[in-house]
Amino acid sequence: MVHELSRPDARRIAVRAQLLDTPRPSSLLDTVRHLGFLQVDLTTYVAPSHDLVCWTRLGSSYSPADLDGLRVDGSLVEYCGLLRPAEDIRLFRAQMAEWPGRPPLREWQEYVESWVLANEECRLDILAALRSEGPLPARDLRDTCAVPWRSTGWTNDKNVLRMLGFLEQRGEVAVSSRENRERLWDLAERVHPDDTVVPADEALEILCRRRLAALGIARQRTTQTQVEPNDVGEAGEPAVVEGVRGKWRVDPEQLDRPFDGRVALLSPLDRLVFDRKRLADLFESDYQLEMYKPVAKRRWGYWTLPILYGDNLVGKLDAEADGDGGVLRVHAVHEDEPFTRSLRAEVEHEIRDLAKWLELEVELE
């Protein structure tokens, strides 16, 4: 059976699956388990994205100290820039063992494999240092690479960081904690739980099912991203969305359920808006993170927060947290369509709640 969905149906499924309806969830760990992961991003223009994602779901009862506590007690572990439930690491062990991927390898995979092999001495030096002295920040690990890493980006000649990244993907090292935003590295065996390996194909099926449960509705196939895939393979059940081309998969648990929406201020990296193609297809909304654009070319601002109202994205909040000044400085509230009086009041209430959570006062420009 192919489910026929209207765009509003699809949007409500997506919003509800991301825990952005009412009532709000109450458990931080259960929230992360349902979402699957939190993307670690330390941009503090408003608040770190992972904290903002949690606040948007749990409200002002959420404290970043709670998230730190889950890391300290081992409930959550960081893997490749994502905080995941520790029990889920077993789903990536087969992938670690296959690094840099299943044959036939792509050209870039062959390059990184040959680069690590050419710097075997550096790899062994890092593992030895961590074994005897870890956890350590990258800056305390000696660069003994014989072949420097070459790229046209910020990683050029950052040999130790690149090696640590590849060793993390291989399951040899892991981020044990962070101090003042800096990652501390250790042997993975000291950080990751000692779980059994789930075969790669089985792990992929489980991850696709989990991803669909978190997204509600997703493409069967779509362009790959560097953070987390946006497609879900054969998980769930087939669906079509009125007015939208292509094959979709929907979580049957989300069908025919009541929907009670609310206002939510979203991180630019929130999974509801992260897949820009899905965003355009389902929400008919245009949004881009503009922090990398020249100031003159920005339409909305440096780190604007999409504003969700029920099952619609209705605007963007351009705000900046000024801790020294004690204010959440609101540069602008961009209305995609003119707000009603009641909507404007609800958005303003949510902005005040955000400021209160940040322990700041609202300052309007």
Instruction: Give the mean pLDDT of 321-343.
Output: 97
Query: Do 36 and 42 contact (CB within 8 A), yes or no?
Result: no
Quote the pLDDT of residue 150.
86
Residue 163 is which amino acid?
Answer: M
SS3 of residue 213 by DSSP = helix
Residue 157: other Cβ atoms inside 10 A: 12
Residues 18-38: what's their mean pLDDT? 98
| Residue 284 scores a pLDDT above 70 | yes
- Token digits of residue 177: 């904690």
| Distance separating alpha carbons of residues 174 and 165, to the nearest angstrom | 9
Distance CA 207, CA 56 (A): 24
Conformation bin of residue 171: beta by default, left when phi > 0, alpha when psi is -120 to 50: left
Residue 302 CA to residue 273 CA, distance in Å, equals 16
Give me the mean pLDDT over the 277-289 stretch.
94
Q: Which CATH class is domain 263-364?
A: alpha beta
Structure confidence at residue 157 as a pLDDT band (50, 70, 90): low
Domain boundaries, the chain: 87-191, 263-364
CA nearest to 19, candidates 232, 336, 340, 272:
272
Q: Position 61: which residue type?
A: S
Of the pLDDT bands very low, low, confident and very high (cuts 50, 70, 90), residue 262 is very high
How high is the mean pLDDT of the chain?
Answer: 95
Neighbour-count burial of 4, counting CB atoms closer than 10 A to its CB (0-12 exposed, 13-18 middle, 19+ buried): exposed
Give the single-character DSSP code of 252.
G
Domain 87-191 is found in CATH 3.30.420: no
What secondary structure letter does DSSP report for 221?
A: S
Query: How far is CA 231 from each of CA 195, 270, 282, rounded to the nearest angstrom?
Result: 26, 16, 15
d(CA 266, CA 306): 5
Kindly indicate the confidence band of residue 154, based on its pLDDT and cuts at 50, 70 and 90: low
196 contacts: CB under 8 Å, gap ≥ 6:
90
* Dist CA 54 CA 77 (whole Å): 16
- Position 225 scores a pLDDT of 76
Lookup: tokens for 259: 């929907």
Mean pLDDT of all residues in 149-178 = 89
For the stretch 42-81, pLDDT in tens is 899 999 999 999 999 999 999 999 999 999 999 999 999 9
